[in-house]
Amino acid sequence: MGHLGQDPEVVNLDSGKKLVKFSIATNEYYHDTSGEKVTNTYWHNIIAWGKTASFIETYVKKGQEVLIKGKLAPRSYETKEGEKRYITEINCSEIVTTSQKV
């Protein structure tokens, strides 16, 4: 469960398929050795296809809290400078919105 950092980006492919990309932030809380509360925020890249992508395009906006179900999808790509980069995305198969836009 996390909050969207920006509105979803919609990509309509030449094949007719629709891809949606966005990121969500999740927080981890703990107390350090001095008793101070510490918050770590982690960002996760999400992709979705088909009907899930259409739902996200219509109903999901920046700031909303969402619950994601999906599979980890590692991939690599090459930068403009020719460097190989690795990224892990979550291929979203289901999404539930839990709040209105903040």
Torsion of CA 65, 69, 75, 79, to 10 degrees: -10
Q: Measuring CA to CA, which residue among 83, 84, 66, 67 is closest to residue 75?
A: 84
Closest CA to 20 of 65, 55, 66, 69: 55
CATH number at residue 27: 2.40.50.140
Domain of residue 16, residue span:
2-31+40-97
Tens digit of pLDDT for each residue in 76-102? 999 999 999 999 999 999 999 986 543
Within a domain: 88: yes
In a domain, 102, yes or no: no
| Per-residue confidence (pLDDT) for residue 102, from 0 to 100 | 37
Q: How many domains does the chain have?
A: 1
Q: Does residue 21 lie in a domain region?
A: yes
Rounded to an integer, what is the distance from CA 85 to the centroid of its chain?
18
Q: Residue 86's closest CA among 75, 97, 102?
A: 75
Checking if the pLDDT of 55 tops 70, the result is yes
